[in-house]
């Protein structure tokens, strides 16, 4: 299975191969290869941050779902019924 870094490296190496093959001016070639390397570094960092963010969001979602399943709905229902019954009692003297 491919990791994101391997895919990024494959794409960026393809770009560098293209530059090395078709660009003849050494100064331009060096600048373009430097640009491709910088692009690869940035992309790897961006993907890492995205993956870390997704992991944290997923973990927090699982925690909140676990908390929701701990909620005692029968006690909640009893509390609502008690509150409803106290509001429905007739007033004295009516």
In which band, very low, low, confident or very high, does the pLDDT at 79 lie, cut at 50, 70 and 90?
Answer: confident
Nearest Cα neighbor of 33 from 44, 48, 22 is 22
Residue keyed to tokens 């994101």: 4
* Chain segment 11-46, per-residue pLDDT in tens: 999 999 999 999 999 999 999 999 999 999 999 999
pLDDT tens digits for 36-72? 999 999 999 999 999 999 999 999 999 998 888 887 7
Tell me how many degrees the CA angle 5-9-13 measures, rounded to the nearest 5.
Answer: 175
Residues 6+ apart with CB under 8 A from 22: none
């Amino acid at each position: 299975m491919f990791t994101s870094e391997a895919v990024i490296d494959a794409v960026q190496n393809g770009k560098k191969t293209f530059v090395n093959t078709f660009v003849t001016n050494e100064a331009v070639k060096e600048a373009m290869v430097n640009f491709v390397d910088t692009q690869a570094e940035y992309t790897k960092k961006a993907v890492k941050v995205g993956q870390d963010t997704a992991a944290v969001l997923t973990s927090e979602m699982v925690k909140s779902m676990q908390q929701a399943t701990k909620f005692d709905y029968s006690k909640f229902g009893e509390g609502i019924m008690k509150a409803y019954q106290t509001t429905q009692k007739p007033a004295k003297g009516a």
